[in-house]
Structure 1
Amino acid sequence: MSQKSRAYNLRADAASIILAVIDQGQSMGTALPKVQQRYRDGRDKGLLAEICYGVMRTLPQLDTQLRRQLQNPLNGKKRIIHCLLMAGLYQLKHTRVASHAVISESVEACRTLRAPGMTGLVNGVLRSMQRNLEALQNEQFEAETVQTMHPSWLLKRLQQAYPQQWPQVVAANNQQPPLWLRANVSQQSRDAYMVKLTEQQIACEAGDSADSLRLLEPMDVTQLPGFETGAVSVQDLSAQRSAELLDCQAGDEVLDVCAAPGGKTCHMLERQPQIAKMIAVDLHGDRLARVQQNLDRIGLNAELVEGDARFPQQWAPGQRFDRILLDAPCSATGVIRRNPDSKWLRRDSDIEQLAQVQAEILQAMWQILKPGGTLLYATCSVLPEENSKQISAFLQQTEDAMLIPIHADEQLDNPGWQILPSTTGGDGFYYARLQKRS
C-alpha cells in the first residue's frame, strides 16, 4: 500500500515532531511515541524515528545548508515546511531511501500539512540539493558549533573539562548509539546466551562487564530468543555497572532512587535473587508503569513507590536501607547520542539547578542509609559539576561519609569513576561509591 493511500504521511509526521521539539520545547521522548502509536508497520515506526533523531543529531548542518537554498526564510506558519525540508535533506544525505521517494513523499506531505502552495518550493529545493549532494556531503563548516553539531555552551563545558578528550566525546555523541544487551544471569550466563544468538546467526560480541553483549547489527529486540521471558534486556554497557558496583548481598534491604524505567532495579534482582526488600522510587507515577512492565516481563518483584527523593519521610517513614542506588536526575550529557534533542532543549543555566537538586537528594538519601551501608551515586552526565565536584563537596561536608574507591587512583578532590562515551563502548556515565561509617 503506498503512502498516498494511507491516512497519514510519514514525512509530514516527521516535520510535525521536529517542529514540536525545536520550536515548542517538547522532548523527542514525548513527541515521537504519540505519533508512532498510530503506525502498525514496524518499518514505518523505525523510519520515522530515524528521521526525527537524525535531524536532531545533525540539526545545525542541515539548517545551515537549507537556509542557503532559500531566498526567503520559512517563518511563522511556514516553519513546518522548513522542518519538512530538513527531514528531506537528512534522508538524502544519511539514509538509503531512494531520492525520488524522498522528494515525492515530501511534496505529498505539503498537502497533508495543508500547504499545497508549497509543493513547488519543496520539490525545487530538494531536487537542487539532490543534484549537489556530493558537495553537501563533503562540505567543511567554519563555525565550530555547526562543525561539531553541539551548542556553544555545551562545547565550552566539554572543552574545559576534557581539553584532550573533548573531540572524542563529540564524535561519540554524534553517532547512532550501539545496541547493548544485558543477559539475565539468573537464567543463563552471558556466554551461554551468546551461543543461542550465534545459533540463530545473530552477530554479537561480549562487553567488558560481566553480563553485557553488543549486537553488531540493529534488530527488533522483541525477536531475540527468550526476550519475552526475560532472558535478555536492553541496557547500555555503562549503565550495567550499577548492579556490579553496588554488589547487593543476600538479606539486604535495597532502595533504587529515581528508578524508572527500571533496568537497574531488575539487574540487581537478577544478580542477587535473595535481596530481602527492593523498593524502587520515582517522582513520576506514569514512569513507574515502565518499571512494572520490565519486572513483569522478567518475572521479578519489587515495591514501587511514587515520591520525591528529596523527602523520603513522606514515602518511607522510619525505614533504613543497607544499599541505596541514587541514579540522580542530571543533564544527560553522557547519553546525547540516545537523546540528541537534549542538545537543543537543555540550557547552560540548567546545570547549576540540577546540581542543587542532586545535592538535596544526596543529603536526604544519606539520612536513610544504615550505618555501614553503601550508597552508589550515579549520573549519565559527563560534567564535573554534577559528578566529581558534587561528591567532593559532599565528602567534605559529611563526617560519617567515606569514599570506597572504584579505582585505586581516586582522590578526595577528584572522586569517583567518570566514563566518557565511546564510539565502540558504553555511554557517558559517572559513579561514586560511598559508605556510612558505623
Structure 2
Amino acid sequence: MRLHRNLVFAVIDGLHEIFNEGAYADKIVQKLLKRDKRWGSRDRSFVAETVYEIVRWKRLYAEIAEVKEPYSRENLWRIFAVWATLRGISLPDWKQIAPTPTRRIKGRFDELSKIRKFKESIPDWMDELGQKELGHLWDKEINALNQQAPVVLRANTLKTTKDKLRSALEDENIDTEFINGYSDALKLVERTNVFTTDAFKNGMFEVQDASSQLVADFLDVQPGQRVVDTCAGAGGKTLHLAALMENKGQVIAMDIYGNKLKELKRRARRAGAHNIEPRVIESTKDIKKLHNKADRVLIDAPCSGLGVLSRNPDAKWKLQPEFLDTIKNTQAEILESYSKMVKPGGKLVYATCSILPSENQDQVKKFLSTEIGENFMLIKDKKILSHKSGYDGFYMALLEKKAD
C-alpha cells in the first residue's frame, strides 16, 4: 500500500481532535470524509478505517511508541508509524516520520501481546472489572469487542420484505446475506455507504445491529396495543415496534432529549410509520399520566455501552469507573419509575447494550425485590455476548405485571 500525504494528514488531524480535544470518533470521521470532494471511495475508506483502528488500539500503539497523553503532533505521527509498521506498510521519506525502528516496534508488540490490558488495548480498571464480572469469558469477549462491527440492516416490513430488499440492493450492486435466527436482518458482504441508495431513501431499511433487532421482538407486541418506548432516542427500536404492530395501535416514543425525537420524526416519515407519537419527558408528570395504561413498555436503559465497543471504540477512553456507579443508580430509578406505566397483565422489557451482570440480571433481581417490583414476575431473559453471537453484546429481560 502506498500512503498518500493528504489522506494521512487527515488521519492525524482527526486523531488530534479525538485524543486531545475529547471529540467523538464518529463525528470526526463524518467531518473528515467531507474534507476533499475529489476523494474516491477507497480514499474515504482509508481515512475512516485508519482513524477507527488507531482509536481502537490507542493504548497498545502509544505504549509501543513510548508516548503519553496529551499527544503532540509529533507523538501522533509516532503512533501512526507504529500502526503502519504493524500493518506491513512501507513508510515514505517524509519529514514528519522520523526513522522508524521497525524491529523494535515488532519486538515490543510481541512482548506487550502477552499482557491482556495491552494486547486488547483497554484501561486497567476496565480489564479488572471485566475479569471480576465475566471471569474466564472476559478474554474472549474483549477480543470479540475489538473486531470491526459488521454492517447489519433491518428490512422495514411496513414497506418491503427481507427478500425484496435483498433484490433491490443487488440492483444497486450491494451484496447482502441472511442471518439465521434474525427474521428481518441482512448483513452486508462488504462495507459500503448504504445511505446513498434508493432503497434507503425509500424507507426500505434501517441500519441496526442484529442483537438490537431482537429487543422489539422480545417485547411480544401485538397490532392495536398501546406501547411505550421510554428511552427512545432517535428511534431505532421504536421504528421496529411500529413495523411489528403493522402501524396499528400506538407507540409512544419518550425521551428526555427533544432533538433526538425530532430525528425520530424524520426517520418515521421515511419509514412510513404512522402510529408513533413522540413525547419529551419534561417532568415526572409525563410519566404519571401513563400509569397503568400501557400494554407494553420498553426500557432500553442508559448503560456503560460496553457491549458496543466494536462500533464505538473511543468509548473505551471516554468511559470512567465513576460513571458506572452513577448509571447503575439511574437504571434502578428508571426501572422503578417507568414500570408503573405497565397495566396489570401487561409486559415490560428491560434492555441494555452492556455485558456486565451488575447492569443486567443483577438490576432485574434487585427490582423484583422492591415494593413495585413485587408486582412483576420474570418471564425470561437473554444474555448476548459478542464472542458467541458475532454481534453487539446485549441483555434483555421480559417481565409481566401480575393481573389484579
Report the TM-score when normalising by structure 1: 0.81
User: Does 2:54 match 1:55?
Assistant: yes
Range with greater deviation from structure 2 (198-207 or 168-177) = 198-207
Are residues 1:193 and 2:190 paired? no
Q: Residue 428 of structure 1: which of 388, 393, 400 is its match? A: 393
Q: 1:204 to 1:138 in 2, by over 3 A?
A: farther
SS at match of 2:218: helix
Which amino acid in structure 1 is aligned with residue 186 of structure 2?
L
8 Å contact from structure 1 (residues 14, 84) kept in 2: no
- For residue 72 of structure 2, what is the aligned residue in structure 1? 79
> Aligned residue for 1:297?
270
Q: Is the 8 A contact 1:305 1:315 kept in 2?
A: no
**Equivalent residue, structure 2, for 1:229:** 202
Say whether the 8 Å CA contact 2:64–2:105 is kept in structure 1: no
182, 207, 214: which one pairs with 2:154?
Answer: 182
* 1:35-61 alpha-carbon deviations (Å, 9 max, x no partner): 444444463443332222111111122
152-161 vs 354-363, which deviates more? 152-161
Return the alpha-carbon distance in structure 1 between the equivalents of residues 303 and 107 of structure 2.
Answer: 39
Aligned residue for 2:211, secondary structure, equals: coil
CA contact (8 A) 1:183 1:231 kept: yes
Match of 2:376 in 1: 401
Partner of 2:129: 157
CA contact (8 A) 1:22 1:345 kept: no
1:27 is aligned to 2:24:
yes
| Aligned amino acid, residue 400 of structure 2 | Q
SS at 1:286 equivalent: helix
Give the count of matched residue pairs: 394
Name which of structure 1's ranges 369-378 and 184-193 shifts more when overlaid on structure 2.
184-193
SS at match of 1:404: strand
Which residue identity does 1:123 align to in structure 2?
Answer: I
Matched residue, 2:332: 359
- Compared CA separation, residues 27 and 316, structure 1 to 2 (3 A): farther
Q: Could you tell me which residue of structure 2 aligns to residue 11 of structure 1?
A: 8
In 1, distance between residues paired with 2:202 and 2:150?
A: 23
Aligned counterpart in structure 2 of residue 350 of structure 1, from 323, 328, 342: 323
Partner of 1:307: 281
Judged with a 3 Å threshold, the aligned counterparts in structure 2 of structure 1 residues 374 and 312 are, in CA distance, closer, same or farther, namely farther
Matches of 2:34 and 2:231, distance apart in 1: 26
**Structural mapping, 1:13-412, within 5 Å:** 13-40=10-37, 41=39, 43=41, 44-67=43-66, 79-94=72-87, 99=90, 103=92, 107=94, 119=95, 122-126=96-100, 128-129=101-102, 141-197=113-169, 202-207=174-179, 208-224=181-197, 226-301=199-274, 302-307=276-281, 311-314=283-286, 317-318=289-290, 320-397=293-370, 398-405=373-380
Q: 2:16·2:73 contact (CA, 8 Å) conserved in 1?
A: yes
CA distance in 2, matches of 1:198, 1:32: 27
Q: Which residue of 2 aligns with 1:110?
A: none
How far did 1:143 drift? 3.4
Residue-by-residue CA offset, 1:191-220 (whole Å, 9 max, x unaligned):
343344456664432222111121121111
The question of whether the paired residues in 1 share the 8 Å contact of 2:59 and 2:118 is answered with yes
CA change 1:275–1:242 in 2 (3 A) is farther
Give me the whole-angstrom Cα distance separating, in 2, the residues matched to 1:21 and 1:433.
38
SS in 1 for 2:72: helix
CA–CA distance in structure 1, aligned partners of residues 30 and 172 of structure 2: 30
Gap change, CA 1:58 and 1:190, over 3 Å in 2? same
CA contact (8 A) 1:171 1:423 kept: no
SS in 2 for 1:124: coil
- Is the deviation greater in 315-324 or in 132-141? 132-141
> Is the CA contact (8 Å cut-off) linking 1:15 and 1:81 kept in structure 2?
no
Residue type of the alignment partner of 1:390:
Q
Change over 3 Å in CA distance of 1:261–1:42 after alignment to 2: farther
Instruction: Assess, with a 3 A threshold, how the Cα gap between structure 1 residues 89 and 161 changes in structure 2: closer, same or farther.
Output: same
Return closer, same or farther for 1:136/1:296 CA change in 2, 3 Å cut-off. Answer: farther
Does the Cα contact within 8 Å between 2:211 and 2:391 map onto a contact in 1?
yes
Structure 1 stretch displaced more, 191-200 or 12-21: 191-200
Deviation at 1:150, TM superposition (A): 1.8
Deviations 1:228-259 (A, max 9, x none): 11212211010000121112212111111221
Say whether the 8 Å CA contact 1:312–1:365 is kept in structure 2: no
Q: CA deviation at 1:299?
A: 2.1
1:226 is displaced (CA, Å) by 1.7
1:84 CA drift (Å): 3.4
- Distance 1:261-1:75 versus aligned 2 partners, 3 A rule: closer
CA separation of 1:232 and 1:169: change in aligned 2, threshold 3 A: same
> Does the CA contact (< 8 Å) of 2:261 and 2:278 recur in 1?
yes
Q: Normalised by the size of structure 2, how large is the TM-score?
A: 0.87
Question: Which is further off, 276-285 or 241-250?
Answer: 276-285
Quickly say closer, same or farther: Cα 1:75–1:351, change in 2 above 3 A.
closer
Unmatched 5+ stretches in structure 2: none
Contact 1:57 1:340 in 2 (8 A): yes
Q: Does the CA-based 8 Å contact 2:64-2:109 persist in structure 1?
A: no
Q: CA deviation at 1:396?
A: 1.1
Q: Is the 8 A contact 1:248 1:275 kept in 2?
A: no
Inter-partner Cα distance in structure 2 for 1:86 and 1:48? 15
Q: 1:215 to 1:418 in 2, by over 3 A?
A: same
